A and B are shown apart, each in its own frame.
Chain A
Amino acid sequence: EVQLVESGGGLVQPGRSLRLSCAVFEFTFADYALTWVRQAPGKGLEWVGFVRNKRSGGTTEYGASVKGRFTISRDDSKGIAYLRMSSLKIEDTAVYYCARFRQLSGTFLLDYWGRGTLVTVSS
């Protein structure tokens, strides 16, 4: 059964950094892109960014609200993706989800998701 498990969330002060991890199971991680999505309290889903697989260049794309502060990376040998969050703001408080990101017929969809990890930015 395909699974994704996020970890690394917690309480962090504004301006500090935090790194989340996403461990994947039961699929060949190297074959897929991986994306991060967040949900602030009482709000809807917001796309954070994604990392392509190595075959597609391993490059990244980010949403406007996190571009320049967040960095997504991957370690295919370990089956883990990372979300490095810097210069954190109170409005970054959210549950962060990782999801397998499939490219099919010119579109991308998120076919398996993790349960999320909570990040709280507060002094």
Chain B
Amino acid sequence: DAKTTQPTSMDCAEGRAANLPCNHSTISGNEYVYWYRQIHSQGPQYIIHGLKNNETNEMASLIITEDRKSSTLILPHATLRDTAVYYCIVRPGGSGGGADGLTFGKGTHLIIQP
């Protein structure tokens, strides 16, 4: 799986959009970008994934650059409950990362400030 780089931590004001960057400059053509988050002392939660087009669901939007070397997860209206560690994972397969066990990096600790 391609290596990803994320900032260690970020702050965002409640109600504002939270933009979480991820660098994956060594991504291969068949690799997707997945985002998961882990709220303290809970299991990870799938957020969104994409290959090259921008994606949006009820939780977030995923913006992937044209060269696919980086992406941004956008939480449009952050709430206090969005405080969590967010993991960007790059791997083959397009069905929610279901094929194999996942390799989690250190992620970004997003703190939503009231």
A binds B: no
**Interface set of B (CB-CB < 8 Å, partner A):** none
